[in-house]
Amino acid sequence: MERPSTNNQQPTTNFETIAVRTQTERTQFDEHSTPLYLTSSFIFEDAEDMRASFAEEKEKNLYSRFSNPNVTEFIDKIKLMEGAEAGYAFATGMAAIYSTFAALLSAGDHIVSCQSVFGSTHTLFTKYFPKWNINTTYFKAENSETIEDLIQPNTKILYLETPTNPAIEVLDLEAMGKIAKKHNLIFIVDNCFATPYLQQPIKYGADIVVHSATKLIDGQGRVLAGVAVGKADLIREIYLFARNTGPAMSPFNAWVLSKSLETLALRVDKHCENALKVAEFLESHPNVELVKYPFLKSHPNYEIAKKQMKLGGSIVAFEVKGGIEGGRNFLNKIKMCSLSANLGDTRTIVTHPASTTHSKLSDEERNEVGITAGLVRCSVGLENVEDIIADLKQALD
């Protein structure tokens, strides 16, 4: 890739230092914080400089659809945090996911995917990819030992999210990595819910990690963004697809996100501390039937979560008594927390999938993807946890 990399990467694998100290080369002004490079293109000294740059004989920014110093800084941080060789950043998480598949697949290829994936990813698999004769077979999180039976001669990709949205199931990355390797599949993980601070799928054999950086990576509900990192040869294909089709991240968003990453560890630590307390409170409440949080002992995949995640994450799912109406009543009584479609924000957000995002499905179809009638998803924020619990308690009481 022709883009120049950041020059003052620290010789460390410590997450917090990488997040703070990975920085684009300083300009002649010796600024401390990285400036914003709002420029669509870059200039060349002469015809030879231009030729060599386009021929990728030298590392140089050419045009901000291909690379830009702010975007590069953001990519380099995520790349180091995930332990990846290379990366490319996108305007949204869906642009990252779509471009990854579109770059790596051909007509006739087959995907094996976990059934509970992000809604728009599910729509890509069921509505759009079949138009190009790319088909997907789903497995359920609880039957992941049957994946090998689903692999066909034309299967090219094994895809999953963990923890899943909104049912908060946890899949065993090590076991999945081994299956992908054995069958020579490209193993892709959407690591959005965990972030690289809690879990690094590449350690378990993931070839590509994708993120919606809109969520915890920004963490402050300001920008939409996505990123894909992983093996250099695969990222090269994704990069070439993206530079020609145009889903690039804006330099402004990259500048915001690079700053966001400096506090990712701090924020995620606190999100997880609050989320565990919220989960424990919910488990003790008589109007709650079931609580799903990876670091609760009652979670069916508690042991796997403990093995692969540093902490339990920021999302708690729980079942309010009273079905659809119970869930709707609970949302109507909430006072402080936000009713919003986002997650991973500083503000606590509650949603009721059965009456909103998944309202068009039948009860049976919803149960199929782990969404029961009274299921509430709570993205636990950074308010004082006593205030979060007090709001949830008054709505449940």
Ligand X SMILES: *Cc1c(COP(=O)(O)O)cnc(C)c1O
CB of 187 to ligand X, least distance (A): 17
User: By C-beta, is 138 or 193 nearer to ligand X?
Assistant: 193
Among 24, 53, 70, 92, binds ligand X (CB under 6 A): 92
Q: What is the DSSP letter of 116?
A: S
Q: Which residue has the tokens 């069958």?
A: 183
Q: What is the DSSP letter of 350?
A: E
Q: 130-189: which residues touch ligand X (CB under 6 A)? A: 161, 165
Question: Site map for ligand X, 55-74, x if CB under 6 A?
Answer: --------------------
CB of 90 to ligand X, least distance (A): 8
CA dihedral 193, 99, 250, 86 (to 10 degrees): 70
Q: How far is CA 97 from the centre of its chain?
A: 10
- Spatial neighbors of 114 by CB under 8 A, at least 6 apart, are 138, 139, 140, 141, 144, 159, 160, 161, 162, 164, 171
Residue closest to ligand X (Cβ) = 93
Q: Smallest Cα–Cα separation from 163: which of 266, 300, 283, 287?
A: 300
Segment interacting with ligand X, rule: CB under 6 A, options 74-82, 86-94, 133-141, 247-255:
86-94
The answer to the question of residue 196 lying near ligand X (CB under 6 A) is no
Q: 271-290: which residues touch ligand X (CB under 6 A)? A: none
Peptide bond between residue 166 and the one before it cis (omega within 30 degrees of 0): yes
Segment interacting with ligand X, rule: CB under 6 A, options 48-56, 68-76, 212-220, 320-328:
212-220
The answer to the question of residue 118 lying near ligand X (CB under 6 A) is yes
Determine the Cα–Cα distance for residues 324 and 316; give it in Å rounded to an integer: 18
Among 1, 81, 86, 94, binds ligand X (CB under 6 A): 94
User: By C-beta, is 1 or 112 nearer to ligand X?
Assistant: 112
Confirm if 95 and 37 have CB atoms less than 8 A apart. no
CB of 261 to ligand X, least distance (A): 16
User: By C-beta, is 93 or 374 nearer to ligand X?
Assistant: 93
User: By C-beta, is 159 or 204 nearer to ligand X?
Assistant: 159
How many other C-beta atoms are found inside a 10 Å radius of the C-beta of residue 166? 27
Total residues in contact with ligand X, by rule CB under 6 A: 14
Three-class SS of residue 289?
A: strand
Tokens matching residue 55: 């021929």
CB of 5 to ligand X, least distance (A): 25
Among 73, 109, 190, 345, binds ligand X (CB under 6 A): 190
User: By C-beta, is 1 or 242 nearer to ligand X?
Assistant: 242
> What interhelical angle do 264-283 and 385-396 show, nearest 10?
30
Determine the Cα–Cα distance for residues 231 and 255; give it in Å rounded to an integer: 25
Among 226, 251, 312, 370, binds ligand X (CB under 6 A): 226
Phi, psi of 292 (to 5 degrees): -115, 115
CB of 96 to ligand X, least distance (A): 8
| Helices and strands, number each (H, E), in the chain | 15, 12
Helices (H), 203-358: 232-245, 251-262, 264-283, 302-308, 323-333
Segment interacting with ligand X, rule: CB under 6 A, options 13-21, 70-78, 89-97, 332-340:
89-97
User: By C-beta, is 43 or 341 nearer to ligand X?
Assistant: 341
Q: Smallest Cα–Cα separation from 144: which of 167, 120, 115, 121?
A: 115
Task: State in Å, rounded, how far the first CA of the chain is from the last one.
Answer: 58
CB of 141 to ligand X, least distance (A): 14
Among 3, 215, 267, 310, binds ligand X (CB under 6 A): 215
Phi, psi of 327 (to 5 degrees): -65, -45
Segment interacting with ligand X, rule: CB under 6 A, options 57-65, 91-99, 289-297, 315-323:
91-99
CB of 393 to ligand X, least distance (A): 27
Q: How many residues does the chain have?
A: 397
Among 99, 162, 214, 250, binds ligand X (CB under 6 A): 214
The answer to the question of residue 81 lying near ligand X (CB under 6 A) is no
Footprint of ligand X (CB under 6 A)? 92-94, 118, 161, 165, 190, 192-193, 212, 214-215, 224, 226
